């Protein structure tokens, strides 16, 4: 598998938005129609879509499920979907609707048995979300900090048949301040599970830097605000990730 540059479509109140540092009051609305946005990224060469229900991430319930399922069913590329998936029934609903992967964050940390059972039922189709602020895991839509470090959590779930880990640096998310590649390397050295990096992507140089970590186990990067604000040319990023442009 090549290096993935994964566009993010975050849904809040039925609209495609981007947040800064995960703060709901710091939103920028990019589209009234998330389906059209998702199709646009597919047409521009995306090989996977990152689809998040922001409302559900905070409350555990929302009215965005039908929109999300419509997007999943309308795309040909794999979709990884997350945000408020804290019950088996919702995870199964998304997988049955065609999602390639479900992303579990809060529920994995608060109810480890839930994650274990889900992974046992759906091996290689569950992604563990590691959302961190200064290296410490945060839950409930990034509104509550825990007392556990990223590496502690990784060690606990290392033996599971997970599809990947998503490592998000909350303080850099949506800020275009460049990812923390130092902590990313530390994580890659600590796990055999493929890692997807999120938070801070700004421009093509970050894609080049990420590709350098592919051999260490970096599967790809998630990008949102940079491609919406166009500080990162998405087509160029995809071409570089496929070796079509000189790194």
Catalytic center residues: 10, 131
Angle between helices 65-74 and 88-96 (to 10 degrees): 30
CA-CA distances (angstroms) from residue 41 to 132, 144, 184, 203, 237? 27, 32, 26, 17, 12
């Amino acid at each position: 598998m090549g290096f993935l540059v994964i566009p993010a479509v975050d849904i809040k109140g039925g609209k495609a938005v981007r947040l800064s540092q995960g703060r709901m009051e710091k939103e920028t609305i990019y589209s009234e129609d998330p389906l059209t946005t998702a199709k646009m990224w597919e047409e521009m060469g995306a090989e996977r879509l990152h689809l998040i229900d922001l409302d559900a991430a905070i409350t555990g319930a929302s009215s965005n499920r039908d929109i999300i399922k419509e997007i999943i069913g309308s795309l040909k590329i794999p979709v990884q979907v997350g945000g408020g998936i804290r019950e088996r029934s919702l995870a199964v609903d998304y997988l049955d609707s065609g999602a390639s992967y479900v992303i579990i964050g809060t529920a994995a940390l608060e109810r480890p048995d839930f994650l274990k059972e889900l992974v046992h039922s759906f091996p290689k189709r569950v992604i563990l979300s590691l959302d961190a602020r200064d290296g410490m895991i945060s839950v409930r839509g990034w509104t509550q900090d825990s007392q556990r470090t990223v590496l502690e959590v990784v060690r606990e779930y290392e033996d599971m048949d997970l599809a990947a880990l998503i490592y998000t640096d909350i303080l850099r998310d949506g800020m275009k301040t460049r990812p923390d590649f130092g902590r990313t390397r530390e994580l890659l050295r600590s796990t055999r599970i493929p890692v997807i990096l999120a938070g801070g992507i700004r421009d093509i140089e970050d894609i080049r830097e990420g590709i350098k970590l592919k051999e260490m186990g970096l599967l790809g990067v998630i990008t949102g605000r940079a491609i919406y604000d166009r500080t990162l040319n998405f087509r160029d990023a995809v071409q570089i990730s496929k070796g079509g442009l000189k790194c």
